[in-house]
Structure formats: structure tokens, C-alpha cells
Chains A and B, each alone.
Chain A
Amino acid sequence: MTAITMDALKVGADETTALQGGRAKNTLLAVADGGTVADRKLKVPPPPAQSQLAGPSSTEQNAAQMRALLGAVLPPVAGLLLLLGIWQLATMNGGSIPTPGKTWDAAVVLFSDPFYSNGPNDQGIGWNILSSLQRVAIGFGFAALVGIPAGFLLGRFATLSSMVNPIISLLRPVSPLAWLPIGLLVFKKADPAATWTIFICSIWPMIMNTAQGVMRVPQDYLNVARVLNLSEWKIVTKILFPSVLPYMLTGIRLSIGTAWLVIVAAEMLTGGVGIGFWVWDEWNNLKVEHIIIAIFVIGIVGLILEQTLLLLAKRLRMEA
């Protein structure tokens, strides 16, 4: 018995080095990736595995890294500058749209005190963003609570799926704002109506993606479950849930994206505190620079939400 184990250990060791060799080669390529084709030709000559350790000197590597960084950062910055330039050119000679400079000045004032509160209709931009985010969180939370289990059921039971799918296909293309009056009617108040709108628009991507994920669980895994005769609970927790997780996260990302799109419009209609309502209020006050600031703020918050979820998905995929 000992002999087997020793042998096995030896194989194991060999195989590990082989793996590491592969990985080292990958990093080498990754470093060279940012550089030009010529760079790449220079830096990926024969030596793989071990010579990586003694490989290109560290200064040379740093330079390559710098170049890669610049290559990644420069174009977006240039794009932004171009946008600012066009904006400046278009608004320089007066007109109703403020110049970038004027907008910046207004933004500095606005963000110097984001959390003031002078009654329900006059609050700092921080409060407005936070209350919009809160509405999104609540509406989205309920949608996840309902949508994810519903997606599991639809993916697992074909009859149910063919029963419900036509309804989903019918309701999904409806603009979420069309649901707002129903919300107002049922809840009699603006705030829950806006949350309801978020709920209804974020539920579809979660149902659809979760169901997709469940249907695409590899047959091999399900065969394992059948041979082991696992309980439904074990099947859900050990097999379905982990393999559906990436799909679910995609659903969540799409949901939050849509929710953030919709909240602005919903708040314009319902009023109260929130970034959408704020935009509408500033329009009534004819503070156009504030509207432009709001557009940037909405964009940036949306971007942060999306990137956070992408990062989360990547982390989970790496663990799996």
C-alpha cells in the first residue's frame, strides 16, 4: 500500500510542475499583451517555465508594464477630453446649455454640502442619490426574493415553464412605467408605487436568467446526483445553486441596470426625494447645469453598480 502512495506522490509532484509551467507562460503573455506586436516578438522567445525566473530584467518588465498601463488609460482619457472639447465649442457662444466650466463650478458648490435638508422638497444631492438607491434596493430585493426561486422552479419543471412562459413573453416587453398607475392604484402612495415599478422591471431578467441556468446544468452533474440518489435539498444546494450562480449574477446585473434606468423616470412622475425628482425640479427651476450634473451622477452611479457586480461575478467564477 505504501508503495502505491509513494508512487502517486511522485506523479502528483510532476504534474504540479507541469501546471506551474503552463501558468508561468500565461503570465509572460499577459505582460506582453499590452505592448506592440514588435514588443511581443521580442519578449516571448523560447524560454518557458524556469527561465521565467531568470527571464527579462525587472526594469525591462517595469517599462513594459508602464506601457501597458498607458495603453489602457490613454484612449479613454482622450475620449473624455474630446467630449469636453466638443461641449465647450458648442456652448462657448452662449445659448441655453452651460459650458463645462460653469457646470464644474456649480458641481463644486453642490458637492460641498451634499447632505443638507430644508424640508422634503429641498435636500442635498447626496440625499437624493441615497433615496433613489434605497428605492432600487427595496424593489430589487423583493424582485430577487420572488424572481430567483421562480426561475429555479421554471427551470426545473418543464410543464410549469410552458405554462408561464407565454405570460412572461407578453409582460416582459411592457415598459415598466406602464405599471406605475397600477402601483399608485394599489398602494395609494407615490413611494411604494415607484418601488413597485422597480420590482416589476427587475424581476424578468432574474427569472429568465435563473431558469436558463437551471436548464443548462450539465447532465453529468445531474447524473452524479441520480447515482448518489441525493435529496432534492442537496441537489439544490450542492449542484443546482453553484452551477446556476453565474447565470443568476448576470440576471442580477441586468436587473439592477434596468432598475437604475427606470427609477429616474419613475421618480419624475411620482415626485418626493430622489435623483429623478431632483432632475425634474431643477428643470422647473431652469438650473440646466444641475441637470447636466445629474446626468453625470446617474451615469457614474450606474457604472459603479455594474462594475461592482461584474467584479463579484468574476470573483465567484474564480472560486468555482
Chain B
Amino acid sequence: MDKFVQIEKVGMSFDTKKGKFVALRDIDLNIRQGEFVSLIGHSGCGKSTLLNLIAGLTLPTAGAMLCANREIAGPGPERAVVFQNHSLLPWLTCFENVYLAVERVFAANEPKARLKERTTKVLEMVGLAHALHKYPGEISGGMKQRVGIARALAMEPKVLLMDEPFGALDALTRARLQDELMKICDATQATTVMVTHDVDEAVLLSDRIVMMTNGPAATIGEILTVDLPRPRERLSLAHDAKYMEYRSAVIEFLYAKQSHPLAA
């Protein structure tokens, strides 16, 4: 499926107190099944807005959006979202937070024991076997973000949407989670869209990097295809000429062609 997610001439404007605010215009993007695409751009350009559109949390004011040839008319578990601030329910344990999602998707066809097994398995996959019954308030930011990822993965979504999933983490934890995410994506062949502002993260993880122009009325500036073999290895890539080339292409776009809105 070459056009698993289809975004055609999509625009998004918000009604604000000061009148209409055009956040996005003329977004055209097709995402292959199993592809890893990241959205990069300066803060406030509309990355989250675009991700929320794919999630169906908001509906576009122009254009059409399809997922698996069906119009995206609202949110649904086949397009799981990892939210920027993890959004775990603080009154449920890690297990219960994930179970809520598992139950919603699989309870119709599977017995309870199987649902619990699924929940435990996915939490083990993100390395949280020891924290199943802890509350979000009792674990660190990195662990919370992993529960958020586990919750999304547990739904076996067609598309995995992530909004700066590692943005709030320290560099070491972030690197570790990136490696884990790469393994998980290789294993599950999930179609993934990730918002990021980290150039290395984008190059390391992506098949394509969608670079967005500055807002208002932001759109896609360039799309960079990252042709590096998988599985990718952080250490060996650090000195890879191709890797460096991709990296500088993104930096070039961000800082030369689209200098930061505050600096302009």
C-alpha cells in the first residue's frame, strides 16, 4: 500500500478572537504502509496541528484525509496517539492505563485472561515489567512516556502517531527510548508519524523527513528521503558520510531556509 495515509490539499484554520487564523495550507502527503515519517519544523509551525488532523482529533477546514482508503472522520483506536505529555490517567496504575486501551480494542473477541496477557506483554516490551502496578505519580518521566507508548502499541494500531514523545526527557533516556522504538517498529512494521524538533532523532528513525515551513499558513517545505539500511546503529552512523549529509540537509533547511521565526 503506497498510499496508506493520504493527505490531499489539506488546510486548517482556527477561529480566534482576532478572526480567522490559518495554521496550515496545501498539505499534500502520502504515507506508505510500514513507513516511518517524521515531521520537523520550528516551534509553532503546526506540527501538532497536522498530527491531530491525522489522529482525527480535529477535522481539516480544507482538503481531504484518508487512512486505508477511508475518510478520517474522527479519532479511533486504529490511529493510536502517544501524547506529548504522556496523558496517563493518574488514578490508574500503569497496568490499568494500558488495560483500558487493550480492553477497548480486543474485549469483544478475547477472554479476560488474554487481555491481561496482552497488557503485561506490551509493558514488558517497553521494559516496565517491574512497574506494572505503580501509579504514574510514582515513576519517572521516561517511564511514564514508555507507558504512553505501550498503551498506543497495545492497541495494535494501523498508524502510530507520536507528538514529540521524547521531548521532555534527558538525552540518555531519550537515546535509549529511541533505540527501543526502532526495535519495536522493526518488529511490528507499524506505520508511524512522529513530530520532533530534534534533527538527529529525525534522521536516525525516519524513512522520510517532512520539513515544514514557518507559520502562519505553514506547509510542507521539503521532504527528505533517508536511505540508510536498517537496523540502524547509533554508534556506527555517527561517522557515516550519508548520515552526516542528511543531517546537514535538515539543519540547512531549518536554519538557513527557514530561520527561526524569532530571529527573523
- With A15-B143, A227-B76, A228-B77 as given contacts, are A8 and B127 in contact (CB-CB < 8 Å)? yes
Are A5 and B124 in contact (CB-based, < 8 A)?
A: yes
Contact mask for chain B residues 62-86; partner A; CB cutoff 8 A; 1 contact, 0 none: 0000000000001111011101010
- Contact A320 to B91, CB < 8 A, known contacts A224-B83, A227-B57: yes
Please, could you name 21 A-B residue pairs with CB atoms under 8 Å apart, sorted by A? A4-B127, A5-B129, A7-B127, A7-B176, A11-B142, A12-B128, A12-B131, A15-B139, A19-B138, A19-B140, A223-B75, A227-B55, A227-B76, A227-B79, A228-B101, A228-B155, A229-B104, A242-B89, A242-B91, A243-B91, A320-B91
Interface contact A5-B83, CB-CB below 8 Å: no
Question: Is A229 a contact of B76 with CB atoms below 8 Å?
Answer: yes
Provide the bound-state CA to CA distance between A103 and B183, in Å: 79
Alpha-carbon separation in the docked complex, A234 to B140 (Å): 27
Q: Which residues of B contact A60 (CB under 8 A)?
A: none
A239 and B77 contact, CB distance less than 8 A: no
Output the least CB separation between B62 and chain A (Å). Answer: 22
In the complex where A7-B127, A9-B130, A19-B140 touch, is A229 in contact with B77 (Cβ < 8 A)? yes
B104 near A230: Cβ-Cβ < 8 Å: yes
Question: Given A223-B87, A227-B80, A242-B89, 11 more contacts at CB 8 Å?
Answer: A4-B127, A4-B180, A4-B183, A9-B127, A12-B128, A12-B130, A12-B140, A223-B83, A224-B87, A228-B77, A234-B100
Q: Is A232 an interface residue (CB 8 A)?
A: no
Count of A-B contacts judged by CB separation below 8 Å: 82
**Chain A residues within 8 Å of B183, by CB:** 4
State the 5 A-B residue pairs at the shortest beta-carbon distance, nearest first: A8-B127, A15-B140, A220-B87, A242-B91, A226-B75
Complex-state Cα separation, A15 to B142, whole angstroms: 9
Q: Which residues of B contact A243 (CB under 8 A)?
A: 91
* B225 interface hit (Cβ, 8 Å): no
A9-48 vs B, CB cutoff 8 Å, 1 = contact: the mask equals 1011001001100000000000000000000000000000
Shortest Cβ distance from B60 into chain A, in angstroms?
Answer: 17
A238 interfacial contact with B, CB 8 Å: yes
Give chain A's interface secondary structure class: helix
Nearest B residue (CB) for A241: B91
**Bound Cα distance from A319 to B135, whole angstroms:** 9
Q: A5-B124, A8-B128, A11-B142 are in contact. Are A228 and B90 (CB under 8 A)?
A: no
Q: Does A115 touch B at the CB level, under 8 Å?
A: no
A221 interfacial contact with B, CB 8 Å: yes
What class of interface size applies to chain B in its complex with A?
35 or more
Answer yes or no: B248 CB below 8 A from chain A CBs: no
Our pick among B76, B87, B139 for the contact of A221 (Cβ within 8 Å) is B87
B92 at the interface (CB under 8 A from A): yes
* Chain A residue nearest in CB terms to B87: A220
Note all chain A residues with C-beta closer than 8 A to B81: 223, 227
Chain B minimum-CB-distance residue to A18: B140
Task: Please tell me if B61 contacts chain A, counting CB pairs below 8 Å.
Answer: no
- Residue B189, interface by CB 8 Å: no
User: Hey, which chain A residues are within 8 Å of B138, CB to CB?
Assistant: 19
Residue in B closest to A12 when the chains form the complex, CB atoms: B130
Q: Does the CB pair B75–A11 fall under 8 Å?
A: no
CB distance from B59 to the nearest CB of A (A): 12
Which of B74, B76, B77, B83 is in CB contact (< 8 Å) with A220? B83
Q: Which residues of B contact A8 (CB under 8 A)?
A: 126-128, 146, 176, 180
Q: Mark A297-320, 1 if CB is under 8 A from B, else 0.
A: 000000000000000000000011
CB B186 to nearest CB in A, in angstroms, measures 12
> Cβ of B173 < 8 Å from any Cβ of A?
yes
The answer for the CA separation of A109 and B180 in the assembled complex, in Å, is: 76
- CB nearest neighbor in A for B103: A234
B127 to chain A, nearest CB (A): 3
Q: Please, how many angstroms separate the alpha-carbon atoms of A1 and B126 in the complex?
A: 10
Q: Which of B91, B101, B155, B176 contacts A11 (CB 8 A)?
A: B176
In the docked arrangement, what's the CA distance between A223 and B87, Å?
9
